[in-house]
Structures are given as structure tokens and as C-alpha cells.
């Protein structure tokens, strides 16, 4: 069972406090992946920064994605649709699994493979990948649906995920072709 984890595609990370021009290019692949995940019955997780004022990370980045603020909302193009298999998982640190209960929730669904997407390849995607590795998940990274900050070597960031965490680096198109949508299976 796969889970699509969309990390920090929040207003503050696209056009707000920590705006990233590179993020614009991953929105369209993410939209297609999200639609595919929903139709295929994957678990869908929005792993979102939701910071409190005393979070240590704010010393590094300044205030961003403060809990309850507009900047902490997922961008409209990727709006969550919470349901039985889709939920928002707030976090106060880089890693999606750190202090969030996400591991228990995914295991309850029988998830054994996480498709980690969103931002940033070298920070939260990386720390979430580490959390996934240590908890026994297979890690898949669609390279066209993640991005680092401008000025950061995207290839090197992906290579780290592959070399250190054993992540499979693929593309969203290739990933979607592996698992035909339930609807197209029915019509065959």
C-alpha cells in the first residue's frame, strides 16, 4: 500500500515568508499525482509545518508557517480533501515522522511504501525520508514533484536520498504508469 506524502506545499513556502520560485514548477505534477493517488486508493498525507512561537527551527528561518496563519495553509491548487484515507499531519520540525504519530497512522492503513513529494528536497523531504527509512518504509521520490531552494543543487539533493536512504528516484509519469488507476483496470 502506497501513501503519497506532500510536504510543505504551503502559502509561505510558495509565495510567502520563504517563497521559492522553483515551487511553481512542481505544482502541476503534484496535481496529477494527487488526483492519481486519490483515484488509486492510496493514503494521502499533507505533512505541513504548523509552528508555534518557541519552535527551535524559527531561530534559523525566522517565523514561517505559523499554526493557524494563512501562510500555513496548503496552496489552493493542492487543497486537501480530508476523508477516510486523506488527512493533514501537522509538524513542528523538518521530519514528517517526528513527533507527529504519522508512522502509527500509516501502519494502520498497511502502508509500506511512501511517495515523498513537495519541499524541500534537501531539508524536509530529506528528513522525512530518513524517518521513513528508520521506520521500515520503501521510499519513492518523484523527481519532478520535489524541489530545493534556488541555488541548491537539485541533483545532489536527490543523489543523497538515493545513496543514503535507498530512495528510488523516478518521475511522476513513470510512477503513475506503474499503478493503473482503478477505473482503467475495470474497463479492460
Tell me which residues touch Zn ion (CB under 5 A). Answer: 49, 57
The nearer residue to Zn ion, 48 or 117, going by C-beta atoms, is 48
Rounded CA-CA distance 88/72 in Å is: 12
Residue for grid cell 520540525: 93
Minimal distance in Å, beta carbon 174 to Zn ion?
A: 30
Taking the complex as a whole, the smallest distance from the CB of residue 128 to Zn ion amounts, in Å, to 12
* 5/20 Cα distance (integer angstroms): 19
18 or 133: CB nearest Zn ion: 18
Short-list 115, 104, 102, 100, CA closest to 40: 115
Q: Angle at the Cα of 61 (from 59 to 62), degrees rounded to 5? A: 70
The residue with its CB nearest to Zn ion is 49
Q: 49 vs 103, which CB is nearer to Zn ion?
A: 49
Shortest distance (Å) from residue 51 CB to Zn ion: 6
Q: Which C-beta is closer to Zn ion: that of 62 or that of 110?
A: 62
Residue 44 CA to residue 14 CA, distance in Å, equals 20
Please, what is the minimum distance in Å from the beta carbon of residue 92 to Zn ion?
A: 8
Amino acid at each position: 500500500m502506497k501513501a503519497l506524502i506532500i510536504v510543505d506545499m504551503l502559502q509561505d513556502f510558495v509565495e510567502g515568508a520563504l517563497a521559492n520560485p522553483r515551487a511553481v514548477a512542481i505544482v502541476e505534477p503534484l496535481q496529477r499525482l494527487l488526483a492519481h493517488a486519490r483515484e488509486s486508493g492510496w493514503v494521502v498525507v499533507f505533512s505541513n509545518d504548523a509552528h508555534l512561537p518557541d519552535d527551535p527551527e524559527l531561530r534559523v528561518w525566522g517565523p514561517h508557517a505559523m499554526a493557524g496563519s494563512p501562510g500555513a495553509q496548503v496552496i489552493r491548487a493542492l487543497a486537501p480533501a480530508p476523508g477516510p484515507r486523506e488527512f493533514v499531519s501537522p509538524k513542528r520540525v523538518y521530519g514528517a515522522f517526528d513527533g507527529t504519530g504519522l508512522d502509527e497512522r500509516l501502519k494502520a492503513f498497511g502502508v509500506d511504501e511512501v511517495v515523498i513529494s513537495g519541499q524541500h528536497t534537501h531539508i524536509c523531504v530529506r528528513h522525512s525520508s530518513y524517518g521513513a527509512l528508520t521506520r521500515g518504509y520503501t521510499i519513492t521520490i518523484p523527481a519532478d514533484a520535489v524541489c530545493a531552494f534556488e541555488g541548491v543543487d537539485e541533483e545532489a539533493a536527490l543523489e543523497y536520498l538515493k545513496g543514503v536512504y535507498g530512495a528510488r528516484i523516478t518521475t511522476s509519469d513513470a510512477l503513475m504508469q506503474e499503478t493503473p488507476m482503478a477505473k482503467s483496470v475495470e474497463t479492460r
